[in-house]
Amino acid sequence: MTELAVQLVTISPEEEGQRLDNFLLKWAKGVPKSHIYRIIRSGEVRINKKRALVTSRILSGDIIRIPPIRIATPEIVPNAHKNTLNAIKIDKNLSILHEDDHLLIVDKPSGLAVHGGSGISLGLIEALRESRPELKFLELVHRLDRDTSGILMLAKKRLCLTTLHEDIREGRMDKRYLFVAHGDFDGGLGHVSLKYPLYKYLLPNGERRVKVEDFGQASLTTIKWLGSSFQGRCFVGEAQLKTGRTHQIRVHLQHHGYPILGDDKYGDRLLDKAIGPKRLMLHAHRLVITHPQTKERLTIVCPTPVGFDFDRTLKQELL
């Protein structure tokens, strides 16, 4: 353990907008949350020489006084070099759809988690941070399920992140997904709105699931029928998210009677076995946003990857 003397930290524009407790938890990694709360509430942590609350928002140029605290001494991690090489490989193999000083938009491959977790040491965000150490700030704007491919946004500036989060909350983004599902979706009725409320829960093993429940969160997905596939046994559609709930498209379609091919959580394994999808047939293929800095409308289109198979002639017509 290393004990630091009193520190005076000046907040950069990239750090602006965070809660004080969240900033300190990142700055003093390894220090228990209870200790962080105690030094804030006791007045030992100050913003511009004034007492602050746990929930105080920090601004660019603020000077944070941090009292002497013990921080765990970084250990030599046996696999650190291997992780760095893996991170560089992930970054190198990513298709960059758009990049500027504020925003990074990539084509996430199916099978790559957006962040690490139980059993996953290196997700996409960790890999990019490891391979691009010059970036002082890099955060996911939104998430994609591990087996969903396609457009994923990351913010290089905190103001960019908060602006895009507000756009998501206010429904100012247009996010669309291509999918292949079992059945023939009402014979081509055009657009159909699915409004099933969604409830998130945990399985006994801790894995999260979502189901339709009357007391769940209001959710809206608009489905556009694009054509039949696999000799009429399936259909290709485009889903437009009006809300952004966990597993929303997958659960809405499953509940409506049209499970997505290759969905190991909500799909139909017997129907899948007859067709043999190689992956979850869900791909984030189109995004329209207002650029958080330039305020220009930005349209991103992401082609479907190898392995996202449906009738070749139909695919050519759509893309």
* Residue of 143, 140, 137, 167 lying closest to 16 (CA atoms): 137
DSSP output for 253-279: HHHTT-PBTT-TTTS-HHHHHHH--SS
Average pLDDT, the chain: 85
The answer to whether 114 and 144 are in contact (CB under 8 A) is yes
Tens digit of each residue's pLDDT (9 = 90 or more) over 156-171: 998 899 899 999 988 8
Coil/strand/helix, residue 22:
helix
Tens digit of each residue's pLDDT (9 = 90 or more) over 62-110: 999 999 887 655 454 455 555 666 777 777 778 899 999 999 999 999 9
Confidence band, pLDDT 50/70/90 cuts, at residue 26 = confident
* Residue 229 in this model has a pLDDT that exceeds 50: yes
Q: How many CB atoms lie within 10 A of CB 180?
A: 24
100 a catalytic residue: no
Task: Name the one residue in this structure whose structure tokens are 């500036």.
Answer: 157
Q: Which of 145, 147, 263, 272 is catalytic?
A: 145
Domains along the chain with CATH numbers: 2-71 (3.10.290.10), 80-159 (3.30.2350.10), 172-318 (3.30.2350.10)
Q: Measure CA of the first residue to CA of the last residue in the chain; give whole Å.
A: 57
Rounded to 10 deg, the angle between the 80-93 and 124-131 helix axes is 100
